[in-house]
Structure 1
């Protein structure tokens, strides 16, 4: 806690010399002890580690075992198809993972390359990496702070710390201010300067107290490095599903093997059948389909001005119910703007300033001439407050350079933090105007009169009361208030100490970092969608609450809290109050992480948006971190899951809408594949229990799962979005994929497909043998050709019925005709291609031999066509009755 110690104590502890600095020999020793002044770099993942991460999944393990067993048993085609699926999934995942985390590399780039220090009794410029604790460092305007410093000399020093603290205006620094408090926020440590912040005004001398990873920036880097990646809701559900399917497949295999042995079947034949069941139980293409659908979603998001760095972030967006947002630059424009002014006893919007009015023109002259900033259409330099004053003049085509040429500056008294005033003397023809601006309390003390309606009147108590009332009104609206005053001299022969006396008050200006215009509507839409917006900022409480109230984030001051209050709260206390809090002010990076974790602990899916270095740990800790692409630091971008290319908060809402639709589409694909696989399991399970031959071969199941099923599943993944999706509340992350009747639908549709497959198997056998009797359902001791014909019929019905079933999956309530048959052209194409490929497999002799199938005639195709379309007809009838029931 260097801010609590006086200069002599620090000099003694760091064994340094304020006059001469460190010697070269001492610097070498300290470099060996403390290391270079740069941030540690996180090691990159090796290709082998990335590969393992991709295959470390229960379903993938089961597929690998199935492939090995199939290959060992001579079923090489099965093994090859499984291997292709595993490879596709791993390659897509590795390509995305190869965009390695660059958080710490970006943090490293923030260090300024050069620093001015005292070494061996001389002022020298050295690379910032060479700085060590104890170095005497010199700062001046425009220079980045090269390491953490305890300031020992300051002259009108202001440092822009928004990237670290989130505060929108530069902080005044004073080396003489020493605090006795134990926990002072970074933004309030007036005698400290922190690495990678920017000196905007004045100069200073400081002692290096922290370098490299021991700086405040370094602490953030450590927090990023220590953050652990968590699985997204969908990843967790798929992992659970994989385990369930794996154990289910194993259980089915064991049961079927035992049943077959009891029935007196050949053990080897039953082992192959068990493998077939295991293959049927697991949707082999599911991991690859989810990955590909997410990748397609990433391309959609780019069109929405959002770059997704990590695939799972797409589906995570759909579950977000808390958006924690930094204020400065995210909800606001990060640009101080004059919004109100007071003159002639009237408080007016800045847009109503009349430059033809003598008093109002004098006010504008005052704030532009008594100003050291620069402002052009392409660049601005200096204090943001002064830039805002120049921007106000620019709206009326009045520029400081032109004004200075007309009214040359003759003399000045620079701004000082203790006076909180600045004064210039400018020439107006043969007269000299003393222009003073600054804090209203200090300004009124040196005023004796006021300019009201073009007349100079005495500054009575009533006039002062009116001025202070307007000033307080602007302060209540979180505006930063500056007052202006003047007096006229006929000669410059006056003591400079007398310039700031007997002034005439002109007026006030109030400025703020204004909210982005489109954000209010976005927050309103979020609220209607069941999404809470939380403001987290380094700014003061009244400023933060005023912005939050204007945007509709908070309604009452009880919903706002200081960061220091969080230090006195346990995690349990914070969790009990977190639901009512909407604004967190004056917070540190550690506070932001604590807030995000508190929301997550309540079962929320949390998004954190931000642009500064101080946002990076919380971006990492959130379920999805969103960085600003234009104003965002490289650190924030590196720590994020998603980057907004237009820095527009409203883009987040569009991204959430897209994320909801993408998740729904992924769910459609999963449910479709599972219902199809249940049909396969049921067909095999029943046939074995009944003592029949297997209706499907292992290669048939693989073909259906990986080729015929995959195309419609992918097409469902790119289904056009539901326009009403934002009218729904965020889904519960703990909610099962099979909630709201989905599980029953899966089972019933799976059962329907399974029984239709068995029906085709039975009909195929009877048609080929010419049998007309119903019993026995399946003929015993049939010829191998008859079995091949029956299996082919079952194979085609299983495949084509699933293709038609994909049309049912587009919406659980609306008819395919309401949605429009051709609104998803990819799905129609997938259906036609699937039927074509199925025909190719049983028509081309080479493929027919591989798959062990029979070439069907027209009568056979008519039968399988009728059976295959039944799932579509049944579901359309069910949806019709469901809609009728809802209307009544």
Structure 2
């Protein structure tokens, strides 16, 4: 960190004249405009491609092309329709392009006051160049990164960049007491001012040292561009499913082709049979169902004050096991609040402050009158600390405006960062009173008396020790401490330099940005659900720990690490220690990304919450970025996967619960689809292996996969919430969708397949002149008998899968105990599927399209009996499971 003289010399600028217009133009051409580089947005075609760039989708497209080539045009069109539907759902939900960098651009100041050629000029901030001398005053945004050359009571609010809720005192002559000043956190660089932060008090001047993408904001923009676009656990699982299904489809085709060659079948017949099996292996509706279930979950979450920007984030949030949260505005209220006071030798909570007590009233009047902020129920202006004092006064009906009118200010000694005091002279019933507030150390050195229990007494060393002990006690709780004193004077003409002498100490107040009232309960719920909360903030270590301790995040200071400590350890050491850390204080945006990366490297699914510009890179780096909707910057919202419209940490807990239930329901849908498709494969594979006719036509399989299966699967995806879901630990990020369910898929696939094949065999025997049990498949059958038998198999395949959908609702509870009415969508899907299937078989024009035969009463009874097999087996197995659990 260079001196201001050295900085001016290196930038070749005269501090009295500034740059000339010619030199500024030359530097503008060299460094470019003072704005942030934008990232090219994806086109509509690119977004559509992103939706279909999936192994499973490619397999579907391949199946559609092959179906079209062999003349199955209807099959091809239906598969393409599924692919298009999936892409449309995804693009519509994720149509909001990434606006993070665009929002960063808009945060730049539109105008800046510069000194050029010895004159002050107001220019567009885009035209600011390194070496420009920038003039600062209250209410003005900083146009670029500056090395301050002058400062007078300068305070800058940097919370959006550093996360620190209190404005920072800036001093041009600040010299850091460290061997390597470059390692200082941004919040401690008191001789620097940074782009897009706000001057709240005082004035100053600085020389531009970094513009555009070279500024601290620019570095954040670069981090956003570099952040990894990672996939969620569900996306990884579905990609894995797609890969397996693709390999299975190809493998089955090859095996069947080989068997056909050995059996001497015709080439075209073998090809069509292989295509039938490939179609059976792929649940065509699966990707559309997953997208629709996620989209419906998104709509439900809007009612929970959560807006999802990216569909897979719904499910991924349910697998989160660590929530990294920014402190300011997320866990806390983002407003300084007086919480304690000290007067009459005693400390107490603010709610015990009363104007009926003489010392309490004098303390509050001093703090309200010696104050330049304004506050009403509808608006507030000024320094957050001073606003907090006015709010404290307002709570006991001491209104700032009324007090100012009653006790008019006639003189003042403004706040100075060296004195750390402010004093005013106010009229008091024909007399006058000096009020002084500020740092307790400085206040005690100019106080000779103390107001105690209605009397003024000389201040003793014991009094000073008691006051300092009270102040230290507040500081230990990370409270910001301010003292107040007064002195009656008979004359308004007291010299200003004599105002801060022989004061009467009256009391202290302690203030902090307090935690949100509901957050502690939410963190407790997270703990029970196996979700850890980690606080990451730009605030000081003591402040961060005090808040974390109160919220139940941390129980020991050993669980706290500062940004300086982070810089001193390697990534490997951080990775080894990070499981035992709960609070990271005084950190930079780069630190936040490093922390999130280290947590993810340990196999965690990490959510990061935040609202400031400084949070944006880590929001994007995390598995799930959660931005605040009210206080959040556009940058944070643009980088996040989801936005909380009420800025309430507790909404995250509801979102986690919703995400867990959605994942559970998606898993039910996928297990249902895969077990049903395996049933189709079993029926076809066994028939071809034994050299029998094909029991199902390709259009039968496609119809079942797209219609009969799809509606129940969708209804399972909307199964009611399980209230016990938040008592479970988060599932492992590496856990497969099939975890513990391979046997389940194989069992019910076998039951459905064998039941379908049994219907086919029974039909062939019934409608062929054949007696006896063996051989299973009669010879010399007619085309009509084959069509009749295929219709029976088609009916059993459809109805058994519809019945099986009820089995998926619970692994252990009987469907008769759960009640059919608890998911009426599934009941309606079942009834709709039954009606459709009956219509296909019974209405002649439709039956001709599907090449099916009308069925009689006996046929329907056979279909009904065989279709109930999956439920009968499931209910018997559930009895055994419940007995083991009990």
The bucket for the TM-score relative to the shorter chain is over 0.9
3-state DSSP of counterpart to 2:775: coil
Partner Cα distance (1:378, 1:116) in 2: 32
Structure 1 residues 872-881 or 623-632, which shifts more? Answer: 872-881
Partner Cα distance (1:780, 1:107) in 2: 77
Contact 2:358 2:453 in 1 (8 A): no
Residues 803-861 of structure 1: CA distance to partner in whole angstroms, max 9, x if unpaired? 11000111111111222211111111110111111112222222212211111122211
Contact 1:213 1:221 in 2 (8 A): yes
Aligned length: 883
Tell whether 2:20 aligns with 1:13: no
Residues 136-181 of structure 1: CA distance to partner in whole angstroms, max 9, x if unpaired? 1111111111111111000101111000000010011000013352
Structure 1 residues 397-406 or 565-574, which shifts more? Answer: 397-406
Tell whether 2:854 aligns with 1:862: no
Query: Which residue number corresponds to residue 837 of structure 2?
Result: 838
Partner Cα distance (1:859, 1:827) in 2: 28
Tell whether 2:60 aligns with 1:89: no
Query: Which residue number corresponds to residue 172 of structure 1?
Result: 169
Counterparts of 1:425-444 in structure 2, within 5 Å, are: 425-444=425-444
Q: CA deviation at 1:772?
A: 4.2
Query: Which residue number corresponds to residue 550 of structure 1?
Result: 550
Q: CA deviation at 1:90?
A: 1.5
Partner Cα distance (1:508, 1:94) in 2: 58
Query: Which residue number corresponds to residue 639 of structure 2?
Result: 639
Give unpaired runs (5+ residues) of structure 2.
none
Residues 851-872 of structure 1: CA distance to partner in whole angstroms, max 9, x if unpaired? 1111112221111011111211
Partner Cα distance (1:773, 1:24) in 2: 106
Contact 2:136 2:199 in 1 (8 A): yes
Tell whether 2:467 aligns with 1:470: no
Tell whether 2:664 aligns with 1:672: no
3-state DSSP of counterpart to 2:182: coil
Query: Which residue number corresponds to residue 106 of structure 1?
Result: 103
Contact 2:282 2:677 in 1 (8 A): yes
Partner Cα distance (2:693, 2:106) in 1: 68
Query: Which residue number corresponds to residue 492 of structure 2?
Result: 492
Counterparts of 1:56-71 in structure 2, within 5 Å, are: 56-71=53-68
Partner Cα distance (2:204, 2:155) in 1: 10
Query: Which residue number corresponds to residue 347 of structure 2?
Result: 347
Query: Which residue number corresponds to residue 773 of structure 1?
Result: 772
Partner Cα distance (2:528, 2:60) in 1: 44
Query: Which residue number corresponds to residue 743 of structure 1?
Result: 742
Partner Cα distance (1:319, 1:355) in 2: 53
**Counterparts in 2 of 1:781 and 1:15: CA distance versus 1, 3 Å:** farther
Partner Cα distance (2:32, 2:836) in 1: 65
Counterparts of 1:39-438 in structure 2, within 5 Å, are: 39-179=36-176, 180-438=180-438
3-state DSSP of counterpart to 2:488: strand
Structure 1 residues 9-18 or 253-262, which shifts more? Answer: 9-18
Contact 1:5 1:178 in 2 (8 A): no
Partner Cα distance (1:697, 1:356) in 2: 91
Query: Which residue number corresponds to residue 714 of structure 1?
Result: 714
TM-score by length of 2: 0.99
TM-score by length of 1: 0.98
3-state DSSP of counterpart to 1:361: helix
Q: CA deviation at 1:51?
A: 2.3
Q: CA deviation at 1:217?
A: 0.6
3-state DSSP of counterpart to 1:824: helix
Q: CA deviation at 1:770?
A: 5.4
Query: Which residue number corresponds to residue 687 of structure 2?
Result: 687
Contact 2:354 2:396 in 1 (8 A): no
RMSD (Å), alpha carbons: 1.0
Partner Cα distance (1:157, 1:7) in 2: 16
Partner Cα distance (1:97, 1:520) in 2: 33
Tell whether 2:520 aligns with 1:520: yes
Q: CA deviation at 1:203?
A: 0.6
3-state DSSP of counterpart to 1:397: coil
Structure 1 residues 49-58 or 503-512, which shifts more? Answer: 49-58
Partner Cα distance (1:457, 1:780) in 2: 119
Query: Which residue number corresponds to residue 701 of structure 2?
Result: 701
Q: CA deviation at 1:22?
A: 1.9
Q: CA deviation at 1:546?
A: 0.5
3-state DSSP of counterpart to 1:684: helix
Q: CA deviation at 1:434?
A: 0.8
Give unpaired runs (5+ residues) of structure 1.
none
Counterparts of 1:622-633 in structure 2, within 5 Å, are: 622-633=622-633
Partner Cα distance (1:781, 1:243) in 2: 41
Partner Cα distance (1:545, 1:85) in 2: 53
Query: Which residue number corresponds to residue 21 of structure 2?
Result: 24
Residues 320-345 of structure 1: CA distance to partner in whole angstroms, max 9, x if unpaired? 00000000000000010000000001
Contact 2:562 2:587 in 1 (8 A): yes
3-state DSSP of counterpart to 2:484: strand
Partner Cα distance (2:219, 2:28) in 1: 19
